[in-house]
Amino acid sequence: MATSSSTTHGAPCAACKFLRRKCMPGCVFAPYFPPEEPQRFSNVHKVFGASNVNKLLSELLPGQREDAVNSLAYEAESRIKDPVYGCVGVISVLQRQVHRLQKELDATRAELLRYVCGDLPPDRIPLVVSNARAYFHHSQQQQQHQHQQLQAHSFDSQSLTALWNCSTGSATSGDINQREGPEEGTLRVDPHI
């Protein structure tokens, strides 16, 4: 998506067409707002303003621009659909889902431990409990480490696309699907996909 659409197709980019100006060969918008996607620029312009986006893109390194535009486009579309919360609403729903699933996982682990210890002689239970605690502790540390890594890195375009698919209910197989859960309209992970 890093080719200038004004030179490739002869048509102005979506930004220049929307702003009714001539698309020059060095147009900063052209690689990221092709003429086939006019609504994408329209949304970004409504929320952030063309001059602010132009200034932002000019200040970024060329390798960072595509991710920035994808983030701006996602936030703009989310903000238009939900003017109050934008993409934060989707993130909040997903965080509540993770919290609920963590509680469910903890309950399942406790039930599994009761099941495993139920058939053991009393003198073996402390060893099983000790091993299970070590395993669960290690598992939780891995989960926390993965969570910290996700927070430390910015979203790439695939993550944003996956997050967008989750919010619109158009996730691909193996992803999170929009399903009715305990709370109406919540997202649930379906492991059987």
pLDDT in tens, 48-81: 999 999 999 999 998 999 999 999 999 999 999 9
pTM: 0.51
Boundary (domain end) residue, out of 81, 96, 127: 81
Question: Quick check: 104 and 96 in contact, CB under 8 A?
Answer: no
Is it the case that residue 99 has pLDDT exceeding 80? yes
Residue 102 CA from chain centroid, whole number: 19
Q: What does the pLDDT average to over 79-90? A: 90
Strand 187-188 versus strand 177-178 pairing type: antiparallel
Residues 73 and 125 in one domain: no
Look at residue 8 in the predicted model and tell me its pLDDT: 47
| Residues 77, 96 within the same domain | no
What sign does the CA torsion over 179, 181, 184, 185 have? negative
pLDDT: which is higher, 137 or 24: 24
User: How many domains does one find in the chain?
Assistant: 2
Domain annotation covers residue 176: no
- pLDDT confidence of residue 126: 62
Q: Phi/psi of residue 77, each to 5°?
A: -65, -40
Range of the domain at 20: 14-81
Name the 3-class secondary structure at 13: coil
- Looking at the domain assignment, is residue 109 inside a domain? yes
158 shares its domain with 102: yes
Quick one: 77 and 91 in the same domain? no
| Whether the Cβ atoms of residue 52 and residue 34 lie closer than 8 Å to each other | no
